[in-house]
Amino acid sequence: MIERMILISSLTLIIHAAETLSYAVRMAGIRTGKLAIALSLTGMIVLVSRTSNIAQGTMTGKIVDLARQQAGIHLIDSFRIILLAASIGTLIAIALYPSVVALSGRMVAHLEQAGSIPRMAKKLLGSRRILNFFYYLRMPKWEMARRILDNGLPKRFMLMNCGVTAIYTVGVLAALYASYLPGHYSTGASQASGLINGLATIMLTLLIDPHVALLTDKVLRREAKLTSINGVFGALMLSRLGGTLLAQLILLPAAYWIKSIVPFL
């Protein structure tokens, strides 16, 4: 049980760190003027993290089965540990943001030269360039946070992203916990995570992505400063962190809500 919890928590940490660091790849694309190439790398990162999220749900479902069979397993505590791993992963990504922006700039250049991701990976892994990774390490500075604060935080934008992130983060766990609650339709409740994550993705596409895309376009046309989009990415990362913390609060209410609506679906 402990080994399984460590594996699931580690996978959750990596998923949320990777999704948060996708902002750093976008920023590198904007800085280098090669946004389309950077977006292909971003798409790969998001695809891997979403696929890993499916694997995480399957492994977490085994914990629910064990909780039904064995006494003494506090399922809600286990789920809160997993959510804590999501917050830690996001926090680590925020700390690594300057380093990944610098490193992604080089990756974008290598991808342009190689022409494909497999060729780029072969080129990087088959040479001493992998040792140059340490050259791009940047220590996070309070100055970065101060620049974000100086530009002003878009509060409404951050609240929306925080809410969407909380829904996406808690979706699988709330559905699994709903299936654990006494009552009928346990199988139906466990399958509700796909619907919840789908709604969260739609909200992200409708509410968050257009704002980022419009500002990115203005920066590329030099109608807005580069610091403005950097501030938006900073706000996105901070609100993602807030969303993972909010997920702790809505875990139980979301589980009971899922349990109540499943009979009507």
- pLDDT tens per residue, the chain (265 residues)? 778 888 899 989 998 999 899 898 998 888 888 888 888 888 888 777 777 777 777 788 888 878 777 766 688 899 999 999 999 999 999 999 988 888 888 888 778 787 777 777 777 666 566 566 666 666 666 666 666 666 666 788 889 999 999 998 998 898 888 888 887 766 667 677 777 878 888 888 888 888 888 888 888 888 878 878 888 888 899 999 999 999 999 999 998 888 888 776 6
User: Global pTM?
Assistant: 0.87
Token code pair at residue 144: 């970065």
Question: Phi then psi for 64, rounded to 5 degrees?
Answer: -65, -40
Q: What DSSP string runs through 139-194?
A: ---HHHHHHHHHH---HHHHHHHHHHHHHHHHHHHHHHHHHHSSSS-HHHHHTHHH
Residue with tokens 């791009």: 136
> d(Cα 60, Cα 202) in Å, to the nearest integer?
25
Among residues 258, 259, 253, which one has the least CA distance to residue 76? 253
Q: Cα 13–94–170 angle (5° rounding)? A: 40
Contacts of 100 (CB under 8 A, 6+ apart): 21, 24, 25, 28, 93
Question: Do residues 29 and 217 make contact, with C-beta atoms less than 8 angstroms apart?
Answer: no
Tell me how far the alpha carbon of residue 108 is from its chain's centroid. 21
Q: How far apart are alpha carbons 157 and 68 in whole angstroms? A: 41
First to last CA, the chain: 33
